[in-house]
Each structure stands twice: as C-alpha cells, then as structure tokens.
Amino acid sequence: MVITSTDNSRVVRASKLADKKYRDREGAYLIEGVRLVSDAIAHGADVTDIFVREDVTNVSFDNVRYVSDRVFAKLSDTVNSQGVVAVVRKREYDCAPPSGNCLVLDGLQDPGNVGTLIRTAVACGFTDVYAADCADLYSPKVIRGAMSAHFCIRLHEMDLQRIFETLDGVQTVAADMRGENLFETQLNSPVALVLGNEGNGLSAYSRRRVIKTVSLPMANDFESLNVAVAGSVIMYRIFSQNK
C-alpha cells in the first residue's frame, strides 16, 4: 500500500523532525539516502520508520512504507533525493568521561564544520564528541557532513561547565594560534581536543580550563585554517602518536 496523504500520522510525526524543537522533544532525527539508512541498520541504530518513494524499486530494507511523490517531498531535505528517508532514535548516553580520546566543540555554528569534525573524530578512533552552544548535531546538514559517523561515536550536548567537569583528569588541549607547535608536542591519550567558534575562537571559559594549547605551523605568513581542517589535522596527529 502506498501512503498518499500528507496527513498520515507517521508522516506528520516524521516531517516535524525537520525542526530542532521536535528533534529534541521526540529524541529522534531524520536520515536520507540508501547508504545512510544501510549504515544505520548495520551499526544497530534504532531505525523506527523507513519511507520509500513509490517509484524506487532497488531497495532491500524490511518493513518499508512506500509513499507518493507529494508525501515524500514533505519528508525529504535534498534536491536530488535517492527516495529513501528514515527516522532514527537518538542514542542517550550517560554523562561520563570518555573511554579514549574525545572532541569538544565550543560554540561552532557551521553545520558543515560540525559534520566534518564528527566524521574525522570517528576516523581517528575518538570515542566521544561533547558539544556546547553548537549547531544542532542532528540537523540535516550535520548528518550529511558526518556521513555515517553518528552511528559510530558517543555524542553529548551539554554546557561547557558540565563538559569540563566530566573531563576532570583528562588532558585538555585546545587549538590556538598562540599555542605550541603541534608537531613538536607529544599528546598522550586520553586527550580532549577543544575547538572554538569559527569567528571568535575559544570561549573565555574554555581558555581558562584547558591545560595546553597547540597551533599549526604555516608558510607564507598565513594566519589560520578553517576549523574543520585544523581540527582534522590535530586529530590525525593525536591518532598517529597513540596507535
């Protein structure tokens, strides 16, 4: 059976997840595309509904709900969609210290940067991401930027004070232009890498709480890199030193 009404109760609930307020209230978010849905299932994510556009015939998911073009348009966030959208419940984690290296995002606002950093954190074996005053970790743009990383790492959204209380005893290292040369610094696990806002850098609170700051050497009197690029370089450095 094909769902043709945009007033269908499951469609209405799913479509509301485009709004952060509803994502927070329902503890769920949307993912889109065959690869993301496949990876969510493979990693044991709690996928509660899968909606497939009626003209799509090459999917092999169980218990899908086929919907008309008009209904799917209400659910989709992309221009050239593959015709698959799913609802995933957020994984709730206790506020606990990380079991390995972790990433702290202090006020990052660009969803693309946040998604890229979550993705790199997974690639570098980081166990947790803590975010304070950031772009919503479950927004469509962050989900796309992170690819399938959301299913492979513990995500926490809380205020900075609580984050640093949780990280008590963990070596906190921040990226800052005035810090030590990253490539002349030994960073032994566990490390909590703290990255600040795209325009303003670290908050005053983070500056007071971090133990060490590191910087990337640059040629041609260049001043700084995009935070996602800089953060990724630092994470790979930490990864390489602690294999």
Cα dihedral: 9, 13, 14, 17 (round 10): 170
What pLDDT shows up at residue 94? 84
56 and 133 share one domain? no
What pLDDT is recorded for position 4?
A: 97
DSSP labels, 15-70: HGGGSHHHHHHHTEEEEESHHHHHHHHHTT-EEEEEEEETT------SS-EEE-HH
Q: Are residue 117 and residue 35 in the same domain, yes or no?
A: no
User: Are residue 58 and residue 131 in the same domain, yes or no?
Assistant: no
Give the domain extent around 29: 2-89
Contact assessment for residue 153 and residue 121, using Cβ atoms and an 8 Å cutoff: yes
Residues 37 and 109 in one domain: no
Q: Is residue 230 domain-shared with residue 155, that is, in the same domain?
A: yes
Q: What is the pLDDT of residue 216?
A: 94
Q: Are residues 63 and 144 in the same domain?
A: no
Boundary (domain end) residue, out of 89, 111, 143: 89
User: In terms of Cα–Cα distance, which of 97, 106, 161 is closest to 131?
Assistant: 106
Assigned domain for 137 exists: yes
- Tokens at residue 178, please? 């005035």
Q: How many domains does the chain have?
A: 2
Q: How far is 60 from 182, CA to CA, in rounded Å?
A: 47
- Which CATH number covers residue 232? 3.40.1280.10
**What is the reported pLDDT for 242?**
86
Q: Do 130 and 208 fall within a single domain?
A: yes
pLDDT value of residue 22: 98
Based on the fold, state whether residues 77 and 114 are members of the same structural domain. no
Q: Are residues 64 and 145 in the same domain?
A: no
Is residue 205 one of the residues assigned to a domain?
Answer: yes
The pLDDT value recorded for residue 48 is 97
Name the stretches of the chain with pLDDT < 70. none
